[in-house]
Structure 1
Amino acid sequence: MSNLLQRTIDISRGKTKRSTVLAREKAAEEERVKNIQLMPDEEALQQARRKKASKRKGSRQSTVLTGNDDKLGP
């Protein structure tokens, strides 16, 4: 009987298994965000440029290069 009473009290206070799991996940996500190291602006811009260039190069590439002697085109 006391277990049922305690569960009823916890539910009325908003303490359910799901709410505690969500709170724990939210706290873990906030901690993860705090631990992310910020990149300097210039470094982030260079990384974005390299990413775009590699996407362009990949979409234009018609064959897979396997060695140093392989070339694209004539």
Structure 2
Amino acid sequence: MNTHTNNLKNYRIKQKLTHAQLGELAGISRQTIVLIEENHYSPSVRLAAKFANIFNTTIDSLFTHTLEEEN
């Protein structure tokens, strides 16, 4: 089972950016930002790196992904 979480919303709000503004900075749609924040979509490594650059942080501080063993 894969588990992923992210702090994208926290970073976006801290920077006072709307979904649309962050989407424009990252070159993606507002809807994609919403899907990522709600953990319905996992960004590519390239997109995650863009977010890290926008927020001047690391990918690891924005996104976590764990692989859990199934019983």
TM-score using structure 1 length: 0.21
Q: Given the two structures, how large is their TM-score scaled by the length of structure 2?
A: 0.21
Greater Cα radius of gyration, structure 1 or 2? 1
Higher strand share: 2
Larger RCO of the pair (alpha carbons < 8 Å, separation 6+): 2
Structure with greater helix percent: 1
